[in-house]
Amino acid sequence: MIHEIPLQEDTVHGYFSSALPPVLMVDPGDSVRFQSLNAGWRWDSPEEHFERDAKLHDGHALTGPIEVRGARAGQTLVVQIDEVTPRSWGATFAHEELFLWSIDGDTATDDRGVTVALAPFLGVIGMPPPEPACIRPSRRAASAATSTASCSSPAPRCISRSPSTAPCSRPATATVRRATARSRAPPSSVRSSACSLTLDVRDDLDLRTPIARTADAWITFGFDEDLDLAAESSMATMLDLMERELGFERTHALALSSVVVDLHVTQIVNVTKGVHAVLRDDALGAAVATAPVLLT
């Protein structure tokens, strides 16, 4: 079944919290379509789409939460990103100076005439922590405890999986970015807004941190205020994945990872640093081609 979330004040929040009531309840396997405001809470530039308490809702505009019927703590939430559709405009900032972009197909042109290629992706997607605190998506707890990622690799047709810590799985999604940069760094990305997700839950996975599966690669994530620790976290999850998905003994996986796994900086713009590890299917040739893919 496909559900629609209307773009209105009670469906958008500037923080994660398990105390927020779900704006929609779906069954495992259902899809959800919605519109996402940009980081300035705008749909049509330059005015905010509706009034908000800026002190309470001071994070990115998060659509949700969405409750998956029957989900419980300890399961794994599976989110398939089916579609990300950019709008016709975007904005970036540098030292408080605004740069506006016009979007045309697969490219964007700024107000000074520079054209770049588009690579749409979800800027924030995650779950609230079990305690009913207000967690902003740009803070450390939001990146780690709520399994939030800001990474250009999880684009349309990507499947991401996060450990479920809440009593029931209530994912919330936020700003859709159109940035072409591979890592998130100041200034802000070009952002915009319409997408479709399919939600499911799994009982048979034990994940340290979120993972993603694209058409041709596995991606694992790590977050910490220390970039080295973020990298270690992403690699620990990648080694888990290589054991579980590809059948490698862990020491062998560690040896192979030094030549087949690439590390990318996910974000450095907030207090929390992010690193994602990428294992492309063609990096291991026949080993990957013949291995069972348990998560797709």
Q: Output the domain CATH number for residue 177.
A: 2.60.120.580
Of the candidates 150, 172, 162, 123, the residue with the CA atom closest to the CA atom of residue 268: 150
Tell me what pLDDT residue 95 has: 85
Joined tokens for residue 31: 């899809």
> Are residues 245 and 114 in contact, defined by beta-carbon separation less than 8 angstroms?
no
Distance CA 200, CA 183 (A): 28
Tell me what pLDDT residue 26 has: 93
Handedness of CA 180, 182, 184, 187 (dihedral sign): negative
Q: Tell me which DSSP letter residue 156 carries.
A: T
How large is the C-alpha radius of gyration of the chain? 18
* Domain tally, the chain: 2
pLDDT band at 32 (very low <50, low <70, confident <90, very high): very high
Per DSSP, the three-state class of 241 is helix
Averaged confidence pLDDT in the chain: 78
Tell me what pLDDT residue 192 has: 56
Answer yes or no: do 101 and 218 share one domain.
no
Answer yes or no: do 160 and 247 share one domain.
no
In a domain, 295, yes or no: no
Domain holding 257, by residue range, is 211-289
Answer yes or no: do 139 and 157 share one domain.
yes
Answer yes or no: do 37 and 68 share one domain.
yes
**CATH number of domain containing 260:** 3.10.28.20
Counting DSSP H helices and E strands in the chain, the numbers are 4, 22
pLDDT band at 105 (very low <50, low <70, confident <90, very high): confident
Q: What is the pTM of this model?
A: 0.78
Answer yes or no: do 49 and 133 share one domain.
yes
User: What is the mean pLDDT of the segment spanning 113-117?
Assistant: 92
Answer yes or no: do 37 and 19 share one domain.
yes
Of the candidates 87, 114, 111, the residue with the CA atom closest to the CA atom of residue 99: 111
Inform me whether the pLDDT recorded for 149 exceeds 70: no
Per DSSP, the three-state class of 35 is strand
Per DSSP, helices labelled H in 72-150 are 140-144
Higher local confidence (pLDDT), 37 or 289: 37
Final residue belonging to a domain, choices 180, 202, 224: 202
Q: Tell me which DSSP letter residue 129 carries.
A: -
Answer yes or no: do 241 and 179 share one domain.
no
Final residue belonging to a domain, choices 171, 202, 233: 202
In a domain, 101, yes or no: yes
Block residue for tokens 């790590």: 222
Query: Percent of the chain, pLDDT > 90?
Result: 26
User: What is the mean pLDDT of the segment spanning 128-134?
Assistant: 75
Final residue belonging to a domain, choices 173, 202, 231: 202
Answer yes or no: do 140 and 256 share one domain.
no
Block residue for tokens 């009593």: 167
For residue range 229-270, list pLDDT tens digits in order.
Answer: 999 999 999 999 999 989 999 999 999 999 999 999 988 877
Answer yes or no: do 98 and 197 share one domain.
yes
In a domain, 198, yes or no: yes
Inform me whether the pLDDT recorded for 146 exceeds 50: no
